[in-house]
Amino acid sequence: MLDDCWAEMARDGKGNLVPKKSTFPSGIKALADYVHSKGLKLGIYSDAGYFTCSKTMPGSLGHEEQDAKSFASWGIDYLKYDNCNNDGTKPTVRYPVMTRALMKTGHPIFFSLCEWGDMHPATWGAKVGNSWRTTNDISDKWDSMVSRADMNEVYAELARPGGWNDPDMLEVGNGGMTKDEYTVHFSIWAISKAPLLLGCDVRNMTKGTMDIIANKEVIAVNQDPLGVQAKKVRMEGDLEIWAGPLTGYRVAVLLVNRGPWRNSISAQWDDIGIPLNSIVKARDLWEHKTLKTHFVGNLTATMDSHACKMYILKPIS
């Protein structure tokens, strides 16, 4: 993802955005080709205003079709569209203009509405883009992370395949939280079907960071085709139970201890959508093991402060 400041301060004589020569001497098309050769996709940034948030490059307001054509011609796969320095009109007016411009190019580009939760984009974003920010910017702190999770969860029922709630990028690996806290962070984003966008320096990731972000079982919950965002089904003080259905009559469950002391949490079948008399097998997604015990009525686990347990539960009778 290229964020703000990738372009020169002025457009060229034809009004086109110009990649910053000192940073991208071969241009963005060459960069996109290189990224695609690695099996990856390239995202870029613009703004639904006259200038971007840094005020160091032009925004796309009034240049939507021209900029969309540039992005398509370069082979861009993802557009983050910010909300700074605009003309005062509502985002519900400005953002659809870029939607139409992107569609007109005929080139598929994931459209990320980054208007910070202004005007509750979850209520209108599905007709405009593929994801929408439900929160202000996240920071690499526990309180910031869990507050973004709380704000995002409010709109759980409005997410669906093709249109996702976005509580901002992942902070995993940036150093401001413990490994347990980053595990909670990644688990909540995954079960919430949030876009999993790494915000750390991928060139210098530790094994601990890799253990979190490369957990295929947790990623599979995020990518489950049913596409139902999990919700907090119970909150008992600092103890939370998150749950959501998966394909194959399975349920993803996340137990989170937000409190200062080690504690146990119980997930009751009637809270998480499993028939009351079911016998259930449980897969622990962070321990990578299927528990030998079968469970009836509930599952209870104990965890440290600011830690979690994540399971896939499947009734076997």
User: Helices marked H in the chain — which ranges?
Assistant: 27-37, 64-74, 91-105, 142-153, 179-191, 207-213, 216-222, 269-272
- Percentage of the chain exceeding pLDDT 70: 100
For residue 104, what pLDDT band results from cuts at 50, 70 and 90? very high
pLDDT recorded at residue 81:
97
Tell me: the pLDDT tens digits for 188-206? Answer: 999 999 999 999 999 999 9
91, 47 Cβ separation under 8 angstroms: no
Please confirm, yes or no, whether 82 is among the known catalytic residues.
yes
Burial bucket for residue 55 (CB in 10 Å: 0-12, 13-18, 19+): middle
pLDDT recorded at residue 117:
79
Question: Is the pLDDT at 317 greater than 80, yes or no?
Answer: no
Flag whether the pTM goes above 0.85: yes
Mean residue pLDDT of the chain comes to 97
pLDDT recorded at residue 229:
98
Burial bucket for residue 151 (CB in 10 Å: 0-12, 13-18, 19+): middle
Query: CA 119, CA 250: separation in Å to the nearest integer?
Result: 34
Token readout for 247 is: 């394909």
For residue 116, what pLDDT band results from cuts at 50, 70 and 90? confident
Query: CA 48, CA 81: separation in Å to the nearest integer?
Result: 6
Question: Is the pLDDT at 28 greater than 90, yes or no?
Answer: yes
For residue 186, what pLDDT band results from cuts at 50, 70 and 90? very high
Q: Which of 87, 137, 201, 304 is catalytic?
A: 137
The arithmetic mean of pLDDT across residues 131-144, rounded, is: 96
Q: Which of 47, 67, 77, 82 is catalytic?
A: 82
Query: CA 248, CA 103: separation in Å to the nearest integer?
Result: 34
170, 197 Cβ separation under 8 angstroms: yes
For residue 233, what pLDDT band results from cuts at 50, 70 and 90? very high
